[in-house]
């Protein structure tokens, strides 16, 4: 697993470094998309994982970061205890799931913790559609 502390653009796929004393502004230098990795602390806004787990096949978590962007993570529940990131929205921009899916590491720690606390393990991408 790559451990480089980089910022990733979910739209064009580049990873770039940000050097500065403030949190990064959350805009891709390449394509201008706001759909890049969260900057600063990620705060969970809304979720009801318990209910999602009980009656749905999808779980949704809303979070925001220090730049004020809102993230919507939708997870497909594969069974009661495993989930995979199915779609991602940053502010108004929806990001299509890449063909090979997203790595589980893409989810910020705050989101991963909420899943853990609700007994849901995050798995990588279940299948490749190549
Ligand atoms: Zn980009």
pLDDT in tens, 33-77: 999 999 999 999 999 999 998 877 899 999 999 999 999 999 999
3-class SS of residue 64: strand
CA separation for the pair 28, 90 (Å, rounded):
13
Q: pLDDT, tens digit, for every residue of 66-115?
A: 999 999 999 999 887 899 899 999 999 999 888 887 877 789 999 999 99
Distance from residue 32's CA to the centre of ligand 1 (Å):
6
Distance from residue 37's CA to the centre of ligand 1 (Å):
11
pTM: predicted TM-score of the whole model, two decimal places: 0.85
Q: What percent of the chain stands above pLDDT 90?
A: 59
Distance from residue 60's CA to the centre of ligand 1 (Å):
24
CA separation for the pair 56, 22 (Å, rounded):
40
CA separation for the pair 62, 42 (Å, rounded):
10
CA separation for the pair 61, 71 (Å, rounded):
8
Distance from residue 68's CA to the centre of ligand 1 (Å):
18
């Amino acid at each position: 697993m790559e451990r480089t502390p980089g910022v990733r653009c979910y739209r064009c796929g580049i990873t770039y470094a940000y050097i500065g004393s403030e949190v990064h502004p959350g805009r891709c230098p390449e394509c201008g998309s706001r759909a890049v990795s969260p900057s600063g602390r990620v705060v969970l806004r809304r979720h009801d994982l318990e209910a999602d787990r009980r009656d749905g096949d999808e779980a949704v978590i809303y979070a925001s970061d220090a730049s004020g962007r809102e993230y919507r993570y939708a997870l497909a529940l594969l069974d009661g205890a495993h989930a995979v990131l199915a779609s991602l929205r940053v502010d108004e921009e929806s990001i299509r799931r890449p063909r090979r899916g997203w790595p589980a590491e893409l989810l910020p720690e705050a989101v991963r913790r909420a899943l853990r606390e609700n007994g849901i393990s995050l798995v990588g991408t279940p299948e490749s559609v190549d």
